[in-house]
Structure 1
Amino acid sequence: MRVLRGERGASAVEFALIVPLLVLLVFGIVEFGRGFQVHGTLSAAAREGVRMMALQNDPAAARATVRSVASSLDPALTDAQIVITPARCPTTTGSTLVRLRIDYDMPFLTGLFGSSVDMTGTGVMRCGG
């Protein structure tokens, strides 16, 4: 009987030691999943934006397409975050490539791992399609 009394509360102490690690693991999984989703959104938006730029040679339309595809991101994208090089496709079609890069500062949901992380989406296409 005395041996059992000596172990009373041991499982509560073990539980208290393990719970913070499990919570941290769950939050890490949530943040990684969200980061993976944001990266996919940025890649899709860059791909659609560069396609629009390559076909229509209109930077404003390309930026609008990027913002439309990436509308689920919070905060929303600004023109300063969408970089198109060269600014316009040359009038002669050839092997000139247009590149669209999106720079996004993804805020963390929990704040346990910092405030944010820089993410980038890039699309490249030959001018003229």
Structure 2
Amino acid sequence: MCKTRISRSEDGAAAVEFALVLPVLLLLILGLIEFSLVFNSQISLTNAAREGARVMAIQNDPAVARAATINAAPSVNPAVTAGEITIVPADCRAGDTVTVTIDYTADLLTGFFGDELGLRGQGVMLCGG
């Protein structure tokens, strides 16, 4: 059986290569985690805005539509507030369209890509049910 022996000059080469690659690998993994969390928040905001627009189109009550919007995004942390929700127009007449917009500031986990990121979820429905 033939054994290959690494010469003394190459003993630490694997450790040096690992030390050079490790920061890039960690940055990629943390970026993937950060992107996944932000993408999940974006989908939740868009679905919540769509739900708020649906409730406004059916019930024509901005307070109920805001409550439905907030309740439709339970996984968003910190929670959506009524001040982040815009409903246009405030009176939904049959044949018009109502737009519910959520302007949300997401806190980023790692801080490598900034502290916050502005997200917007929007839903549009035809009034009158």
- TM-score above 0.5, yes or no: yes
Partner of 2:112: 112
- Percent same amino acid at aligned positions? 50
After TM superposition, give the deviation of residue 32 of structure 1 in Å.
Answer: 1.0
Partner of 1:74: 77
Partner of 1:44: 47
2:49–2:69 Cα contact (<8 Å) kept: yes
Residue 91 of structure 2 aligns to a residue whose secondary structure is: coil
- Moved runs in structure 1, 4+ residues, more than 6 A? none
2:49–2:102 Cα contact (<8 Å) kept: yes
Residue 69 of structure 2 aligns to a residue whose secondary structure is: helix
After TM superposition, give the deviation of residue 5 of structure 1 in Å.
Answer: 1.2
Q: Say how many residue pairs are matched.
A: 124
Partner of 2:36: 33
**Structure 2 CA distance, aligned partners of 1:8 and 1:17?**
16
Residue 100 of structure 1 aligns to a residue whose secondary structure is: strand
What TM-score results when the alignment is normalised by the length of structure 2? 0.92
Partner of 1:127: 127
Partner of 1:22: 25
> What 5-or-longer segments of structure 2 have no aligned partner?
1-5
Match of 1:88 among 73, 77, 91: 91
Partner of 2:3: none
**Structure 2 CA distance, aligned partners of 1:107 and 1:87?**
30
Q: Give the RMSD, CA atoms, in angstroms.
A: 1.1
> What 5-or-longer segments of structure 1 have no aligned partner?
none
